[in-house]
Amino acid sequence: MSDNILKFFNIVNSIFSAIIIGISELFSGQRVLFLGYLVLNVVDFITGIIKARITKTESSSKGLTGIVKKVGYWILILITFLASYMLSNLGYLINIDIDFVVLFGWFTLGCLIINEFRSILENLSEVGVNLPNFLIKGLEVIQNIIEKNAEEVEVKKDEQNKKE
């Protein structure tokens, strides 16, 4: 049974790696963002395990759920970048300016990076690490700025579409 689980995780890992490599090559100039997000995923998972052991809430099902969520986030990133690329090209082909959709992937990645930072800080806090208050407040401010900018892009495009 454990061989089957190991084979399954090797397959998932290979697919996951191929996706990361593909995204990294596609956005080679921004590779550090994707690799940084991957590092945050790993650090969050490790700090989550440490927190669970210290608080005696360790559970293999929670760990598996965490892994599934991380893979789901990467799928979300893939889908948002793929959709924005496809929609942008479609707009070009039918002569409609919808280039703003290119931002969907970047806004999604930005929000997920902030969520990983927050989760790591939460894990550290729950095991007794004293955190500087500016980190918590700063991440909240950055999240609000990203969400506000995403909403402003939507509003500007809605206004532009009404004028046309």
Rounded distance, CA 26 to CA 118, Å?
Answer: 28
Asked if 97 and 163 touch (Cβ cutoff 8 Å), the reply is no
Q: How many residues does the chain have?
A: 164
Note down pLDDT in tens along the chain; length 164 residues. Answer: 466 766 776 787 778 777 777 766 666 667 788 889 999 999 999 999 999 999 998 888 888 888 899 999 999 999 999 998 889 888 888 988 887 888 888 989 999 998 999 899 888 888 888 888 888 787 777 777 877 877 777 776 667 666 66
Count other Cβ atoms within 10 Å, centred on residue 6.
Answer: 10
b vs e for 47-78, b when ≥16 Cβ sit within 10 Å of the residue's Cβ? bbeebbeeeeeeeeeeeeebeeebbebbeebe
Q: What is the pTM of this model?
A: 0.70
Q: Enumerate the domain spans of the chain.
A: 2-163
Nearest in space to 157 (alpha carbons), one of 94, 86, 91: 91
Residue 126 is predicted with a pLDDT of: 84
Rounded distance, CA 149 to CA 103, Å?
Answer: 10
Residue 23 is predicted with a pLDDT of: 64
Count other Cβ atoms within 10 Å, centred on residue 109.
Answer: 23
